[in-house]
Structure 1
């Protein structure tokens, strides 16, 4: 499930086809086999009501159409409960459900019947929290010319070009890509070849020994804060290199950075980079590390990727990164914290305090993290 959209301006869409076409821009990718839920402001009704819809939170869950036609799978009911909790927190009085699935090409077929069942049971779940399902739409794919229909009813129409939607233009203008599929997000975290990652793993013990000796010398010379500062500055130098488009690191360098990220003071300090001018450079380094490091060291880098994505409102990518982090280390505390927030539908501003804490940690170490493109 994704987090609410991070747009500071409400989105108003008056046409059903336009609403469906906007979904890829709202999510950041074109969903497939998905149940997409849009919360509406209290003053609006569903599509076709004659009024416009002001969209708030946007959520997604895998759509399960397998099984009996007249009952939704248990996993869908779990999703209904999570959706309902987010809607209640958002203060939504009405929602729109959009079912996107290649099996929904026939409005009168058995899968369309299952979709209708899911819609009815979702509506019943929402009603338990006094939330109305203002409308439900089904479409085989969010592509130009695709035919949408209302499950259980006869209404249908055509989806306009999603790439030409106003919402898509705004997203691209803001520098946020719209990916063709969720799998493109997963590919960004695809591990490097096994042989290379094994070289990194083989370098970890030596990197840890070297780090311990270096840290102890620095600690004797100026205290723990002095030692932490040196490690933070090393990490920042690699962020700067990533921003300059540096080549892939050597296995020993990856191992060195993995050991530094194990220092929680340093790792928590660089959370601040997600909200500053080095956000892109930092994400490039975290992605590189997440692809190069073995388990469980990979979890720290993937968690930093997730935090950066979450803060900028890219819930789907945050979810992909958190899945990678928790698969690498199921007990990773930062990843678990962020995952709970994401699953609960908390907005990005609810976690931005972690970035502020990062600035404070760095300041205590005597490092001014970049707010104007420089670090000292």
Structure 2
């Protein structure tokens, strides 16, 4: 399941809502059921799940989807299914029942297939003809508003996954060589630490803080880290105090997402846990739940017990909105997230 929270878009018709969904998700959905939460006429949230297999009961997935929507404080919701009628109808019906049971008004329930939409709740042939109503999202004002707001709709979820996929070929070999150099550098750093610095912990943290700050400076100047910088940073972030320092300075800014996406793609597989979790956190804070989800999928596939990734995966699956985090993380025990007082810099 993917949950998202993005810039508010105003909808006035089913065609408006259908045009908005890909920009809310970040990609054009297929074989999916989407629940869109609204306050008045404004979309505030959307949650997506794959259509259940025909042999499975859709009720459990529907209850979870409805629970995610309820947590957003929405007044109402519309359910949209993408795919053939035999698969969409049971899923949409189950979500409608689950939403209504939780007290959420269901404004409409739609099926979208091959450029047409049908309503399960409208029986007026002038409004909702039995052959469906054709729509053109490229001509819809909601699409123009989303594009103007900087929102992107990729062709499909696979395109989103590709954004966090590892580099290969010569770039991979270059980072692998840089990582070997960074390992020697780490060894020298620890060996040269004073005896009072147990296991070189202070030296590692000092080097890590410097590496994080340097990475942020490069990002602010729109400069990409070189291979040695990626290797050094990703290796230092296996030291939890360094990871936590980077986490405290990560929010939902575009430059945070760009930095951790780049490091995640280029770091060696054994070193992706911290950058992958930080990308997921930044994407979640920015309301880009789909990007957060694919970052976590890649991270947890290689590091299933990494505590920060596990924590964020739970927040995302439960549909906890970023607005519940007052400010950015105050880190106590490693992997423990707690809110702290709002900064003067102003967070939503």
**TM-score, with length taken from structure 1:** 0.74
**Could you report, residue by residue, the CA deviation over 1:163-213 in whole angstroms, capped at 9, with x for unpaired residues?**
444443333333332322222211111111167546645765663453244
Return the alpha-carbon distance in structure 2 between the equivalents of residues 233 and 316 of structure 1.
31
**From 238, 250, 263, the counterpart of 2:215:** 238
Aligned to 2:25: 27
Matched, 1:126 2:99: yes
Aligned to 2:287: 313
Aligned residues, how many?
A: 325
Structure 2 contact 10–142 (Cα < 8 Å) conserved: no
**From 118, 121, 127, the counterpart of 1:149:** 118
**TM-score, with length taken from structure 2:** 0.79
Aligned to 1:162: 137
Aligned to 1:265: 241
Return the alpha-carbon distance in structure 2 between the equivalents of residues 335 and 306 of structure 1.
8
Return the alpha-carbon distance in structure 2 between the equivalents of residues 344 and 299 of structure 1.
22
Aligned to 1:5: 5
Return the alpha-carbon distance in structure 1 between the equivalents of residues 203 and 79 of structure 2.
54
Return the alpha-carbon distance in structure 1 between the equivalents of residues 111 and 314 of structure 2.
29
Return the alpha-carbon distance in structure 1 between the equivalents of residues 326 and 138 of structure 2.
31
Aligned to 2:305: 331
Return the alpha-carbon distance in structure 1 between the equivalents of residues 301 and 204 of structure 2.
31
Structure 2 contact 6–24 (Cα < 8 Å) conserved: no
TM superposition shift of 1:150 = 2.2
Return the alpha-carbon distance in structure 1 between the equivalents of residues 190 and 208 of structure 2.
8
Gaps of 5+ in 1: 45-52, 105-111, 359-370, 372-376
**Could you report, residue by residue, the CA deviation over 1:193-248 in whole angstroms, capped at 9, with x for unpaired residues?**
16754664576566345324425645669995575233211232133334545466
Structure 2 contact 283–291 (Cα < 8 Å) conserved: yes
SS in 2 for 1:275: coil
Return the alpha-carbon distance in structure 1 between the equivalents of residues 306 and 176 of structure 2.
19
TM superposition shift of 1:2 = 2.6
What is the 5 A alignment of 1:156-235?
156=129, 157-158=132-133, 160-193=135-168, 197=172, 200=175, 204=179, 207-215=182-190, 217=192, 228-235=205-212
Aligned to 1:49: none
Return the alpha-carbon distance in structure 1 between the equivalents of residues 147 and 273 of structure 2.
30
Matched, 1:139 2:112: yes
Aligned to 1:285: 259
**From 286, 291, 298, the counterpart of 2:272:** 298
SS in 1 for 2:305: coil
Structure 1 contact 306–317 (Cα < 8 Å) conserved: yes
**From 33, 57, 63, the counterpart of 2:51:** 63
Aligned to 1:365: none
**Could you report, residue by residue, the CA deviation over 1:144-165 in whole angstroms, capped at 9, with x for unpaired residues?**
xx21112486634545433444
Matched, 1:77 2:53: no
Closer/same/farther in 2, CA of residues 67 and 174 from structure 1, 3 Å limit: closer
SS in 1 for 2:62: helix
